[in-house]
Amino acid sequence: MPSTRPRGGRIENGLRKRCATPEKTPRSGHSCAARPHSPLRMLHNPCPRCFGTAPPEHAHTTAHRPHSGPLAPDRISASMTESPAPPATQPRSTSSPTAHVSARSVAAACAASGRFALAIIGPGALGLHFAARLEGVVPVALIARDAAAAARLRAGVEVDGRGFRPQAFGPEQAPEADWVIVLVKAGDTATAAATASRMRPLGVLSLQNGLTGELLRAHCAAPRVDQGITTEGAYRERGDRGDRVHPSGAGETLVPPGFEAVAELLVRAGLRARVAPDIAHARLAKLLVNAAINPLAALFRVPNGALLDPPHRVLLDTLVREALPVLRAQGLDLDEAAALARVHAVAHATATNRASMLQDMLAGRRTEIDAITGALLRMAADRAVDLPAHRAVHTLVCALEP
């Protein structure tokens, strides 16, 4: 007897019900083929079929949503702002293959799309330190001063005792990138901002010394432009076999809200990083540390830790005490004991580090004294406050510059 069930469903209580049969997708194709994968999005929502992480005995039987673009900050876990970052020695995640794509797969996608998940402008000691650590997590574009400098970097540099061949570019060849970290000297901020704009990023984050955020925003039209801080330490030395970069103190990197994706990448690279809602306070605290440590390290030509010993300690503490009232008027919420403890802790944590101002002095370069001590002196002048000790070290450092 032929079936009386109507086509397209079944009769139930006199009404036609459609069968809830899932729509099938042919085994030979899947929806990701229609659009390229964004490198940073793949780190969080990879397609097992595309990157070879799906078990071979299971085929793609249902369609899935393609990766439609770069990872937006609101897709990052809120936990980045709720708890301290793990220590620098914490191992990387060993989650399942579908949770995080291998760096090799992301590199292949970057090569195909021409867009990097992350770029660093400024291949100094700290820039190379960050790039070498991050390269194991996501491909990094390193932007050098010019094409010749980029070629030298691609030939290889030693970072933390290991050979490192960065994907280096000159400014005119800089690729597009989702996020850009600026680590150039303060005097090169405007030029770096223009380069960053051409890379069409979601955001540009300065981790420079001094207060460069306003200048960066004036020359960069990215959707997000802001300044964070880092107390990571590294120094560079030249030898017969080329340059060597030595990490010299595990510090912490604080980023403003909106840069959660950058903080997460740093954490995954084994660096301490977190989002700081009150980033303005953190920047003032960093300025206090820099204004106390950098000029003295440069003038006495000693590593940071030596400033905790006589005869340097009295000068270090004098600079802290003199700067504190001016910075407190700007919003720094530290009393004298806390301010001294903050500066001493950084000097101890980076005891073997050569401060950036010392590295510049030894290399015969102009220092960032105007961006650090000069910024403090300008704040004091606005309030008609004299800072004789800071004025003296500013004069001495300027006199020793080339």
Closest to 131 in 3D by CA, of 265, 273, 228:
265
Residue 17 annotated as catalytic: no
Residue partners of 297: CB distance under 8 A and separation at least 6: 303, 304, 306, 307, 354, 355, 357, 358
Q: Nearest to residue 360, comparing CAs of 267, 276, 311, 295?
A: 295
Distance of CA 308 to the CA centre of its chain: 29
Single out the catalytic residue among 17, 24, 185, 286.
286
Element containing residue 247 per DSSP (H, E): strand 242-247
Bond from prior residue into 311 cis (ω within 30 degrees of 0)? yes
- Cα separation of 90 and 266, whole Å? 12
CA dihedral 349, 288, 368, 154 (to 10 degrees): 40
User: Whole-angstrom Cα distance, residue 117 to residue 179?
Assistant: 6
Q: Which of 227, 325, 222 is nearest to 280 (CA)?
A: 227
Q: Which residues are catalytic?
A: 286
